[in-house]
Structures are given as C-alpha cells and as structure tokens.
Amino acid sequence: MTPSFTQPGFARIVGVDTPESALCHALAVRLTEDVDAEALRHRFDTAVRRWWPGPADRTPTLWSEAVPSARGTPLARHRLRTEMHRPVSRTGPVLRAVVLTYADASRDLVLTGHRGTLDPPSLRVLAEVLTGRRSPDPLTAQPLPAEVTATPRRTPSGGRRVEWGMGDAQAGDRTDVFRLPLGAAAGDPLTSLSAAAVVVLSRYEGREVVRTGRVRSPASRASEALGAFDEVAVLTVDLSRVRSNEDLLDSLSTSPDVSPQDTAERRPDVGVLEVAAAAGEADIPAELPCQSALFPLTLVLAPGADGTTDVEVRHQVRHVGAAAARAYAECVALVHRQLTERPDGLVRDLDLLDAEAGARQLALGLAPESAPPRPRRIDALFDEWAERHPGAVALRRGDAALTYGQLRERADLVAAGLRLRGVRPGDHVGICLDRSLDLVVTMLAVLKADAVYVPMDPSHPPQRRAHIVRDAGLRVVVSDLPDFPGGDGSVLGVAELVRAGGAGGPAVPRRGPGDAAYVIYTSGSTGRPKGVEVPHRNVTGLVAATRDDFALHPDDTWTLFHSSAFDFSVWEIWGALLTGATLVVVPYDVSRSPTEFHELLVRERVTVLNQTPSAFGQLMEADRRSAAPLAVRLVVFGGEPLDTRVLLGWFDRYPEDRCRLVNMFGITETTVHATAQTVTRREALAGTRSVGRALPGWRLYVLDPQGRPVPTGVTGEIWVGGAGVASGYLGLPELTAERFQPDPFLEGRRYRSGDLGRFRPDGSLEHLGRLDDQVKVRGFRVELDEIRNVLLDDRAVRAAAVLVSGDALKDAATVRIDAYVVLDGQDTEAVRRRASRILPEYMVPTTLTALDALPLTGNGKLDPDRLPAPATPASPPKATAGKPAGLSGDLAEVWESVLGVSVGLDDNFFALGGNSLYAVRIGSAMRERGLPALSMRQLYLTPTVRALAADLDQQRS
Amino acid sequence: MRLAGRTALITGAARGLGRAVAVAFAREGADLALLDIAADLPGVPYPLGSASQLACTADLCREAGAGVLTGTVDVRDLAQVEQAVAEAVGRFGELDVLVTNAGIAAPSGRAAHEITEREWQLMIDVDLSGAWRTIRAVGGRMAERGSGSIINIASTAGLVGYRHFAGYVAAKHGIIGLTKAVALDYAPRRVRVNALCPGSVRDDPRVEGRMLAEIARSLDVPVAEHEETFVQAQPMNTLIEPDDVAGAALWLASDESRQVTGSVLTVDGGFTAR
C-alpha cells in the first residue's frame, strides 16, 4: 500500500481559527562569555546585508533587552518564555533576533521566525553563525517570497469540532503543552510516531481511512541553505490495506508522492512534527517547533533523557481538552512501543490501553455501589405488599379500583383458572387485552401460575399477533377480542378464567427467580419481531436498583401509559406494584390525547410519570395551556434519546426541588433501564447527551469492534452486563449467542446493544445513537444526531428529524441527507443557511422540509415511515428564464445533466445538492465537451454558473 | 494574566496616565512599545515628558516582567509615527492594543476669541490629529489581521464644556467623534475602538502627573483650591486616581470587553451623570 500524500503548504493544513503563533518557531541559545557583544552585532549586520538586502521593513534588527533580574528567577524565565512565544509579523522582518541580558550579566540569544520563510535548521545555522561557531561563507539564502505564506484571517467562531476532543469552547487560543516518554525508536522516529498517531486516530474515529498532518525537514535539505524547506504533508492512510506493523511503518517511510489534488475538505485534527535540539533551560525548551500548536493535537518528537525519545504534546485547548490530549498521547506511546517491539505483529492487534488503563476503563462502567440485588420473584414480592397493606389501592381506572388484597385475590382466581386450563409452569401465555384492570390482573395471574406472559397490543395488526402466537408457541391466549387469530391453542376471556378458578386449583411450587417472567417482542430495524425472554429477578432487581435513589414509596401514584407490548410498561406496572404504590391505568384514547392525559394526571394526583421524550413534549404543551398544576414529583424518560434543551420551560413551572427529571437509557434486552441521569437546568442548558452512570447491579462497556475497551471520550459500541441481561431471544439460539456473550468481568452475560456511546471522565455514558444510524456520506462518517442537534440549536426550529436516503453502494453521489423540521415561523432556507455555517459541507442536509408536527408511533417515538417525501432541493428563484448563450449556457447544461435538476445562472452549486463527487463529474463532463479545465478550488470559490463562467472567460483571455 | 502574549503601543507614555496604563498592562503580561515626545513643545506653557521619564516608565514595566521598546515621537509628524510603529512591529510582531494618550492641556485659560490661530492649531494638531495619525499607522495592520483594541484617551471635556478651554474641549469632543467613526470602519474586521473619559485625575507623584496643576495654572487659581472645586463638583467627592483609569483601559484592552466598540467609558466619579 502506498499512502497518498498531498503537499498543500502550511496555509491549507491549519484551520481558519489558528493563531499566527502556530506557524512561528523559535530557538534560544545561551551566549557564553567568549561571545563578544560587538562581534555578535558585527556578524549579524554582515549576515543581514548579505542574505536579506531587501526592503528596509523586512530587514532584521538585532534587539537587545535588559532583564532586571538574574537568570533563573521567575521574572527572567518569564521574559525568555515570552520572547520565544511571540510571533513575528508576516509582513515584517524575516527574523527576530533578541539578546536578553540578565542582571547577572549572562545572556540568551533568541531567534524567532515564520516557518513559511525560515525553517528550524535555518535558525540553528544562523545561531551558529552569529556565535562565531560557523563560517557564513558557504551559506546561501532563499530569496524572500513576495508574499509570506498567508495565515488565514481569523474568524471569531471558525473551526470544526474535534469529535473526541472534549475541548473547552471558552479557552480562546490557549495552547497547553506536556511531555511523555516515548521510549526507544526503531528506524526513523518520526515515522514510528506518525504510525502510532495514525493507528490511534483510526481507532478514535472508528474508521480505516484517516488523515494526519506531518511536517519535517526532508532528507534532501541542503545544510548550507537558509529558507523554508519544510515538507508539509497530509498523510491519508488506509489501514484496511496494511496487515503487519512493519507494513505500516514501511508505507509511511516511503517518500511522499506529491499529488496536487488535495481534497481541501478540512484540516487534519492530529499532526506530527519533529524538533532536533536538546532540552533547554529548566522547563523551557531550547527549541520551539511552533509557538502554539499547528494542529488541534500536535505531537512533537523531541529528544528525551539518555538518548530516548519524548513526545511533546501541544494541544489547542479549544479543540482538545487536557484529559483527552493526555489520553490520546498515552495511547500513542503505548502503540508506539508495540510497533517498535513487535514489527511482525498485526496492526489490528495493537492495544490502545495497557492492562492498568484497561482496568480503569472497565471500572468506569460500574455503578459506584453495586451489591447485586437479592434475586426475587415478581409475584412473591407483590404478595408481600398485599400481605402488608391489603386495603391500599393497587389499581385504578376511572371509577373502578382494586386494592392490593382484591388484586391478589382476583389474580389467584385467574391463576387457578389458567392451571385448570392446562397451563403448566414455564408455559407461554399470550395476553392481548386493552389497558384495563384485568390486563394487570392477568399478568400477575400468569406469573402466579408460574407461567410466562407474552403481551400483545390489541391495536397491532393481526399478522403481527399471528406471528407472535406461532413464534412463542402460545397454547393459551387471554383476550377479549372476538376475532383473535387462533392457533392450535385456545383463546380465553378473563371472566371465564375467574369463573373457572372459583373451583380452586392445585397450588404448585413455583420455579425460581432466575426463570422467565415475560417475553416481549421487539421489532428491530430489520427482520421479524424477536421475542426477548426476561427472568423475574431482572425486574425485581430493577426496582431494587432504583427504589432508594428515586425514593419510591407506597404513597406514590403511577400511570400505566404505555402499551403492554412495549417494555416501558414493565417498569410502570412493577415499579408501582412492587413498591406498594397505586397504578392508574390510562385508557388508550386518553393516552393519545395530551390534554386528556394532563387532566387525568391532575385528577389522579399522579406523582411518578414515565414518558418518551416525544410524548413528554406534547404533554408540556398541554401543561402550558392548563392552569391546573401537576402533582408529579418524578419523571422518568426512556425509549428514545432525550434532547434536554427542550426541558427549560418545564423547569420554570416545576423547579428541580419539586419534580425530579431522570433520563434513563435502556434496552428491552437488558430490562427496560440500564442507566440514570438526573437532568437539572444546568444539564438542559448544556444540552447534555449524558444518560448517566450504570444502575447499581448493571454494568456498561464501551468497546471497539474487537471487543476491547476504548478510551474515555472515544466512541464505541455500548455493551450492557449485570442484573438486567435477558435470557436471550426466544427460539433464536444463534442470534442469542451472537448478541449475548459471556461477560468476562461479571457473572453471566453481557448484551451487545448496537448503540454507540462514549464514556465521560466521570463514568457517565453519552448515548450517540444507533450503529445503524451511522452513515457514510461520500466517505465521511456522518452522525445524524449531530445534524439534528445543530438544527435544534436554531431558535426557529422546535423539533427536527434527520434521515439518510440514496444508495451508497450503487452511487455514492446520490446519498442524500433529508431533514424535517417543525418551525416557529421563518422559512427553511434561513435555517439551512444557518446550519451550513456550522456543519461541514457534507453534513448540510440536502433537503429541508417543514412539517406542522413530527409523526409519532403508537409507542410515542418518531415514526420515520410516516414522514412525507422530502421537498426538492432548495433552489433560490431563477435569475433568468430561457437558456443563456455561450459558456454559461454550456456550463448550465453540464450542471443540469450531472445534478439532475434545473439550474439557474445564480444558483449555488451546493444549494442544488452539489458535493465533491458531483464536482469531479462536472470537471470531466466539461473536459469531454472541450470546455476549459476546472479545478475543484475554482468551483468551490465561484459556486454559481454565472461567476464560474466569468472566471473561466477571464482565464481564457 | 489578562494580556499575556499581547503587545500594546502607548503614546504619551513618559508620565501621567500613560505611565499608569503602561505599568498596569505590563503587570498583566503585555509587552510594550512606549512612545513619547520626550521634549518640550514651543507654545505649550509647561514642560512635557522627558527622556528620563520615558526611561523610568520603561524600567517600571521591565520590572513587572514586560519586554519594552521605547521611541521618541512627535505625534504631529505622521512619518515619525509610522517609523516608530514599523520598529515596534519589527521588535514585537503584530500589535494588539493601541492607546492614544499623547495630549496637551494648555495653552488654555482664555475665552474663544482670545485664542490665537497658532494656539488653536497646536491644540487640535496634538490632541485630535495626533490620535488620528497613530490610528492611521496602526489600524490598517490590525484590520488586516482581524483583531485589535484601540483605546483613545479622551476626557470628560469630550462630553461637556469647560469654561475657557475651547480648544481642549473641541479636540476631546473630536476624539469621541473619531472613536465612533473609526469603530464603524473597523467593526467588520473585529478591531475595537473605544474612548475613555477620565474626570479630574489626581496628580499622583508616582506617575509624575501634572494635569491638574497645569489646568489650575491656566485658570490662575491655586492648585489646592482648584482640586477642592473639582471634589465638590463630583458626586463621589473624590479625585480620580491614575490606577482607576488604568483599570478601565485594561478592561478595554482585554478580551473581557470583546463586544465593546464605539463606546465611551467615563471614569469620572459621576461628574457627567448629572
């Protein structure tokens, strides 16, 4: 494999928000007593006259500065450091030379230059000449360029976020620096450092193709030359094409193929540099390769103690925070060691974390206090409450109610009826009932009959129910539906069972808490619904894990809001009944009407509410319109990602000390919830994506595709172990074995969620969406959530959904990002314009469609199937009608044929759905027609037909 | 340190407010190009800053940790100003902060019709045109780079009138106009321009100020009596200290004021509030 190199020059590798100091470097030399001041000045004047005779304002001066303090004092060190860190002007003298004379008469010579005019070896040579240790005679200087490498103009908020950087937006231009020992290097140390940096970046970004910057002095550099000879390269490495560590090192040590075609899409986040000089004065190095940091994370190869090598890490704090920089550098050091020690090892076997760091990472996923809960059966725990306060209300729906005693009695009757009908321990019993008291009675009864309940929603299509009946082997289904599709088994009504149970039945010894309590069918994004089998102890464990923290209490009133086929209802039902609380059953039509539901919450004085964020959004609207306050003291979010920012209005009405909001991440396969994050105004203001730490007894892992833990801040796949892991998928042993794997660190197994996440330093988990949602758009990894978040940041956008369409395999250029927004006035074009200022070009939605409301599924989640076809790509009004003649007419034709939309002279290429792949096609279509050659850059700079034609015309003439 | 790594150019830096601002900036990590005429000016009835005073300011700044370049400049001469700025750029690289502080308080003390043509021209040339020339030499560089803070030292005389000070009051009102217009010129390039209006500043011997003394002399009243008049006229009943003005300048120089431009900041104990 040959990695592709591009040599874009400094201007192209630094971001728009990089300060001048990133490109300036400095050298400090202590002047010994034998260096005479007059002789130094004479040598300086001679050198300057010889090499830089040019205009007076670019001619260097030898400055001298008296420091009123002795060498080594804080003041003296401050002066030296400041002197070395001060950039030179791009348009001023090519070099700054300053002699600092300290109060003890010792002196330092500081030379500072811009890497675009003088490279580090030039400064070293100059220092030798000025101190008389080298003759100036054989030296030649490059003529000064007419224009020094331009540093891009500063923009107040330019620059792309480094995804894993955990940067501090308030840090301004601050650059922090630290050093780590790198150990011995084999071969060219810059190559092995580059290789390590590339491997770490690839793992961090979760992709095989990565770009890093590299700046070094080429081996061919003549030692007698003064000027700018840095080899500035962007290394694009495809790690899928290298096997062994040696291959990787080889591929990076080949001399660069300089390819003029740079994608110019963005600056590299990580880059490597070398510095040759030995360590300097105390903590001040004698040579500064860059005064701040050339790249957001800049790794500088520096000499260490005893002939070993150090890496000096310079990071722009705005982009890469201290913890992230250190973690990255530690990974680089570890990978570097493996690369040099095991050349024949495989690149994919390189570890980012050593044993100690790996253990630390694993500990992050464990709840602080984690005594495993005592395994219990659901029905046994319920019976204890029924024993303790039989008169307390357990269930209510409208005027009907059952006390704990009555509920136990009726469930016992139904259980006896089930047994009489032949239900044996461990049998699967279907339940397809409306949200009623009997729904809960029957669930409890099935458990009391030592069977396993399989809920089905009466509103689900009959085919789905038929699939479940077959798949779960249901011989008995409890349902009041007259047309329930029968299988081989029988359909029984509750009343019938009560009657039958009246005759009494034999009591059977119940199985243990480790046996299944229910099977809930989840519909994955692909394939048929799968039955997830969950044991009793998972549910009782969940209640035990949350009871103290949430202060769950018999005085609480909960609602059963969700469909019994959605596992959020497991938490609602048993969270209430296993803590002695009252459960209010919400009729289906009330659950569909936010206003009626709000009235119910007020009327029933509900204190514990469980909602999906989408449903809660509608409830907040209803609450705003209502004068009656809610009695809710705890809201638990689940089922889908929560955008905390929309909660600010809620806190104004219900302050945190009155109502606690908890965001919980979980999966049916790990029993409803796995984490908890309390959300306060501060989290909402920060728009946190944290779902909190693992529940006591649960355990989180964030792993790479090989199953290794990834460092803090790095995205990986979420695995969940501990008390909530289900038994598996019903009748799918292979899938079960694939998704439920032995947990090497805990008893039992851990579940591979297919969700993306990353740990924050405090062990809380950021949930970053589904692995399936992670899409590639023209080779770039795009997270739809990130786009959605940017849209939601816009004040005019109240809700947003983002999807990808098109087939990347057939034609990458057709991949399209479609966004749907609910707007507060304003038009989509304004939203698009603002988003395009923040998002990189490839992440700007191709279409933006305004809706009155986002469609929701029965479970209250976004329903992508009910989104309308997207609006056609935004296109501003056409400037001209009819086809113009000449070059612009030809151009418009080419654009139309490539882009497949009609093109006006002033339409913006990107607004028409253009992207870099289309740009390449336009270039070749123009060549085919004998039109002038077109560079990418030109198209990006003049993205309309009119401007481009004018530009090309000008070039021709 | 609020100005770490920044470079400030200050005119009229030999003594008085110029010195107070310079030392305050040095303490906050700035390096300094300190300019002063360092000579007397025919037509000004009192001695201006001296070379020795300028060197003293430079030493005070070095002791506070700053790198310092000094230059002798008459702000009435554009070529001199440009030369000094070029030298400062050679020494320090780009300039981040400009304080146009050079100014004279006299010849004053007479009614408008008693001022001579020469006296009028001299006052406007130093106090108003001098500030413009310094901005002319520095502003373009700052705009090109897309950052910078320019602080024009005006006076409460830029906001209200003072009897028998027509030239001075006109020049200082001009500074405020200049500030607002230039602020608009440079706003798109993120260069900020603000005016600072000190009230009556005590003649602190540490910075060798003599403004109040010269005003008193122009009005032919004893200094003590003049001070008393000002103290009485000021709602807070004190004189302003040079450090009070330096603190305001520091804020305008730092990023803490990064959205502040075209503003007029008074440090006058409430004198112009009524």
Q: Residue A342: pLDDT band by 50, 70, 90 thresholds?
A: very high
A23/B196: higher pLDDT: B196
Which residues are bridge partners to A26 per DSSP?
A112, A288
CB atoms within 10 A of CB A480: 17
For residue A252, give the H/E element and its range: helix A245-253
Mean pLDDT across B95-101: 97
Residue A839 confidence (pLDDT) above 90:
no
Q: In the annotation, is B168 catalytic?
A: yes
Is the CA virtual torsion A853, A855, A856, A861 positive or negative? negative
pLDDT at A749: 93
Tens-place pLDDT, residues A216-247: 888 888 888 898 888 888 888 888 888 999 99
To the nearest 10 degrees (0 to 180), the angle between helices B130-145 and B78-92 is 40
Name the pLDDT band for A262 (thresholds 50, 70, 90).
very low
Distance between CA A15 and CA A154 in Å, rounded? Answer: 9
* Residue among A834, A793, A802 nearest A645 (CA): A793
The tokens of A103 are what?
A: 């109060």
pLDDT at position A489 over 80: no
Under a CB-based contact definition with an 8 Å cutoff, are residues B98 and B134 in contact? yes
Q: To 5 degrees, how large is the angle CA A546–CA A547–CA A552?
A: 125
Distance CA A911, CA A846 (A): 8
C-alpha A636/C-alpha A662 separation (Å) is 5
Residues of B with CB under 8 A from a CB of A: 4-5, 7, 29, 31, 59, 62-63, 65, 67-69, 86-87, 89-94, 141, 145-147, 190, 255
Percent with pLDDT over 70 in chain A: 87
pLDDT at A911 over 80: no
Residue A780 has a pLDDT of: 59
What is the structure's pLDDT at A787?
Answer: 82
Of the candidates A106, A15, A81, the one whose C-alpha atom is nearest the C-alpha of residue A288 is A81
Residue A721 or A906, more confident: A721
- C-beta of residue A866 within 8 angstroms of C-beta of residue A840: no
Residue A190 has what DSSP assignment? H
C-alpha–C-alpha distance, residues A806 and A780, integer Å: 15
Please tell me the distance from the alpha carbon of residue A865 to that of residue A702, in angstroms, as a whole number: 31
Residue A6 has pLDDT above 50, yes or no: no
Q: What is the pLDDT of residue A906?
A: 78
Interface touch A92/B29, C-beta < 8 Å: no
Alpha-carbon distance A162 to A295, whole Å? 11
Could you tell me the sign of the dihedral formed by the alpha carbons of A435, A441, A444, A448, in that order?
negative
pLDDT value at position A724? Answer: 93
A487-508: average pLDDT: 77
CA distance A744 to B212: 82
CA distance B33 to chain A (A): 13
Confidence of residue B43 (pLDDT cuts 50, 70, 90): very high
Residues forming a β-bridge with B195: B152, B264
Is residue B216 within 8 A of residue B173, CB to CB? The reply is no
Predicted confidence (pLDDT) per residue in A525-583, tens digit: 455 789 999 999 999 999 999 999 999 999 999 999 999 999 999 999 999 999 999 99
State residue A155's pLDDT score.
Answer: 41
pLDDT at A776: 61
Q: Kindly report the nearest CA distance between residue A17 and chain B, in angstroms.
A: 11
Taking a C-beta distance cutoff of 8 angstroms, is the pair A429, A474 a contact?
yes
Q: Of the listed B46, B162, B168, B186, which one is catalytic?
A: B168
Task: Place A157 in a pLDDT band, splitting at 50, 70 and 90.
Answer: very low
Share of chain A above pLDDT 90, in %: 49
Mean pLDDT to the nearest integer, A138-153: 64
CA angle (B45 as vertex; B42, B50 as ends), nearest 5: 70
Phi, psi of A438 (to 5 degrees): -70, -25
Confidence (pLDDT) at A926: 82
pTM of the model: 0.77
Mean pLDDT in residue range A257-269: 51
Query: Tell me, what's the pLDDT at A694?
Result: 94
Task: Please give the pLDDT value at position A129.
Answer: 92
Number of other residues whose CB lies within 10 A of the CB of residue A762? 10
What pLDDT does A853 receive? 85
In this structure, which amino acid lies at residue A372? P
ipTM score above 0.95: no
A472 or A945: which leads in pLDDT: A472
pLDDT of A882 over the 60 cut:
no
Look at the block and give the residue holding tokens 């929701």: A856
> How many DSSP H helices and E strands does chain B contain?
9, 7
Q: Say what the pLDDT of residue A951 is.
A: 81
Contact between B67 and A66 using a beta-carbon 8 Å cutoff? no
Q: How far apart are CA A51 and CA A113, in angstroms?
A: 15
Give how far B49 is from chain A: nearest CA, Å. Answer: 23
CA gap A178, A291 in Å, rounded: 14
Q: How far apart are CA A23 and CA A112, in angstroms?
A: 11
Least confident of A108-117, A222-231, A622-631: A222-231
Q: For residue B141, what are its two tokens?
A: 């560089």
Least confident of A14-28, A411-425, A608-622, A719-733: A14-28
Residue of chain A with shortest Cα separation from B26: A79
> Given pLDDT bands bounded at 50, 70 and 90, which one contains residue B113?
very high
Q: What is the mean pLDDT of residues A455-480?
A: 89
Residue A939 has pLDDT above 80, yes or no: no
Which 3-state string (H, E, C) describes A558-612? EEECCCCCCCHHHHHHHHHHCCCCEEEECCHHHHCCHHHHHHHHHHCCCCEEEEC
Which residues of chain A from 64 to 83 reach within 8 Å of chain B, CB to CB? 65-68, 75, 78-79, 82-83
- Residues of chain A with C-beta less than 8 angstroms from the C-beta of B94: 20, 87, 89
Return the pLDDT at A264: 42
Residue A576 distance to chain B (closest CA, Å): 53
Mean pLDDT of the residues in chain A: 85
**pLDDT number for residue A813:** 60
Average pLDDT over residues A853-868: 81
Whether the link from the prior residue into B107 is cis, omega within 30° of 0, is yes
CB contact under 8 A, A78 and B31: no
Mean pLDDT, range B177-190, rounded to an integer? 97
pLDDT reported for residue A12: 63
Range A262-281 average pLDDT: 66
| A26 touching chain B per CB within 8 A | no
Nearest CA in chain B to A85: B5
pLDDT at A811: 57
Distance of CA A558 to the CA centre of its chain: 34
Tell me whether A86 touches chain B (CB under 8 Å).
yes
**Which of A164, A159, A172 has the alpha carbon at shortest distance from A838?**
A159
CB contact under 8 A, A78 and B65: yes
* Confidence band, pLDDT 50/70/90 cuts, at residue B147: very high
Q: In the predicted model, is pLDDT for residue A879 greater than 50? A: no
Query: CB–CB of B90/A61 below 8 Å?
Result: yes
Residue B163 burial (CB < 10 Å; 0-12/13-18/19+)?
exposed
How high is the pLDDT of residue B40? 95
Distance between CA atoms of A949 and A797, rounded to whole angstroms? 37
**pLDDT value at residue A263:** 40
CA angle A51, A53, A54 (to 5 degrees): 120
Tell which of A16, A65, A112, A288 to mutate to test the B interface (max B CBs under 10 Å).
A65
- Which of the residue ranges A427-431, A434-438, A466-470, A667-671 would you say has the lowest mean pLDDT? A466-470
Tokens of A50: 């010889």
d(CA A563, CA A520): 11
- What is the pLDDT, as a whole number, of residue B46? 94
The model's confidence at residue A266, banded by pLDDT at 50, 70 and 90, is: low
A883-906 residue pLDDT tens:
567 888 888 888 887 777 778 787
- Tell me whether strands A530-535 and A557-560 are parallel, antiparallel or unpaired: unpaired
Fill in the amino acid letter for A953: D
Average pLDDT over residues A395-401: 96
Q: What is the pLDDT of residue A472?
A: 94
Q: Which two tokens stand for residue A818?
A: 């479609």
The residue-averaged pLDDT of A642-650 equals 90
Interchain proximity B62–A155, CB inside 8 Å:
no
Question: Tell me, what's the pLDDT at B270?
Answer: 95
Average pLDDT over residues A311-318: 93
Please give the average per-residue pLDDT across A380-396, as a whole number.
96
Range scoring the smallest mean pLDDT among A574-578, A786-790, B44-48: A786-790
Q: How confident is the model at residue A1 (pLDDT cuts 50, 70, 90)?
A: very low
Rounded Cα distance, A652 and A648, in Å: 7
DSSP notation for A56-80: GGGS--EEEEE-SS-TTSHHHHHHH
pLDDT higher than 50, residue A3: no
Q: What is the pLDDT of residue A257?
A: 44
Average pLDDT of span A854-868: 80
